Structure 1
Amino acid sequence: MTASRRPENWTRRICALIAAFVAAHASYEHQRYFALNGGADPTSSAFWPLSVDGLLVLSTWPEVMSVNARESSGI
């Protein structure tokens, strides 16, 4: 059985996705609440978390891709 087809690998991936979803939801709600209490209007406070988390994803994406490239090349 190949490494990607092992049941424990799929279990880890599913658990990681669940944890990531919960963390993303908590982060969004926290930042939205912060923006509303800081004086932002409801529309701006809805987009605030997306811009902050989006910048975080964009800034870390090259590192994630370089790790994936190293793993697939066997380095």
Structure 2
Amino acid sequence: MVTFDEEGFVKIVDRIKDIIENGGKWISSVDLENNLMAQEAMVIAVPHLEWRERSIACAVIEEGKTVAKRELYDFL
């Protein structure tokens, strides 16, 4: 859930649910976020035709730095 201010900025204030259903498995977005908290991060669900939903992690990294997907997988 988000709010928009008068200048058009978006602020994430909460989520509608904390559980993501992924192909019959239930994933806690809170647990994923807790594992990512070495980074400024959040986890959201996006629709998926085969699995119903998939989890997407959004993380803030230092300006000018990059992180490979494999590095995040290894970290988790």
TM bin, normalised by shorter chain, reads under 0.3
Q: TM-score, normalised by structure 1?
A: 0.24
Pick the structure with more helix per residue.
1
Q: RCO higher in 1 or 2 (8 Å CA, sep ≥ 6)?
A: 2
Q: TM-score, normalised by structure 2?
A: 0.24
Task: Please tell me whether Structure 1 or Structure 2 has the larger radius of gyration of its CA atoms.
Answer: 1
